[in-house]
Amino acid sequence: MSELAVNRRATFDYEIFEKFEAGIELKGFEVKSVAAGRANLAGAHAIIRNGEAWLVNLDIPPYQPNNTPSGYDPKRTRRLLLNRSEISALIGKTKEKGLTLVPLKMYHKNGKIKVEIGLGRNRKKADKRDIIRKREVAREIREGF
């Protein structure tokens, strides 16, 4: 599995409890752009609407801007491909207070592009400071200060 895009900010901003693998519905030129590593997961999130999972705010710039169909929106809402049982489980879990679906990474698997979605809770500012502090202490220990 080769990673095509990683949302590094998601693991810092959210405490991830559970991960799911989902397919994503893309157009042909979007597949080429994602395979070239041009997808941007920052600021994206998943929602469940009418029994379907959707990925909102995923930025996929056109592969060849001059050959892209007119009216193409790089941040359009894209459908995630999940089983009904997975969607119903996610509906129940997202109803809990403060749980969000966040895309963590995009990768190739058996010739298909997959998205790893994490079910997580937003971290408080103090928790983020603790993470930064622990990271700095670990780095100082590694460097031998």
Q: Average pLDDT, stretch 88-102?
A: 85
The domain of 19 spans 3-143
Tokens found for residue 73: 């929106």
Q: What pLDDT does residue 132 have?
A: 86
How many structural domains is the chain composed of?
Answer: 1
Q: Which residues contact 132 (CB under 8 A, 6 or more apart)?
A: none
Owner of token pair 């157009």: 27
Neighbours of 80 (CB within 10 A): 24
Q: What pLDDT does residue 67 have?
A: 77
In angstroms, rounded to a whole number, what is the distance separating the alpha carbons of residues 99 and 24? 22
In this model, does residue 145 exceed pLDDT 70? Answer: no
Q: What pLDDT does residue 116 have?
A: 95
Q: Supply the pTM of this predicted model.
A: 0.80
> In whole angstroms, how far apart are CA 102 and each of 7, 44, 73, 82, 87?
9, 7, 21, 15, 14
Spatial CA neighbour of 45 closest among 77, 19, 16, 17: 77
Confidence label for 79 from pLDDT (cuts 50, 70 and 90): very high
Q: Average pLDDT, stretch 36-43?
A: 90
Q: What pLDDT does residue 113 have?
A: 93
Q: Average pLDDT, stretch 100-116?
A: 93
Q: Average pLDDT, stretch 71-99?
A: 87
Could you tell me the CATH number of the domain that includes residue 123?
2.40.280.10
Owner of token pair 């403060």: 98
Q: Average pLDDT, stretch 106-112?
A: 92
Stronger pLDDT, 34 or 1, i.e. the higher one: 34
Neighbours of 123 (CB within 10 A): 16
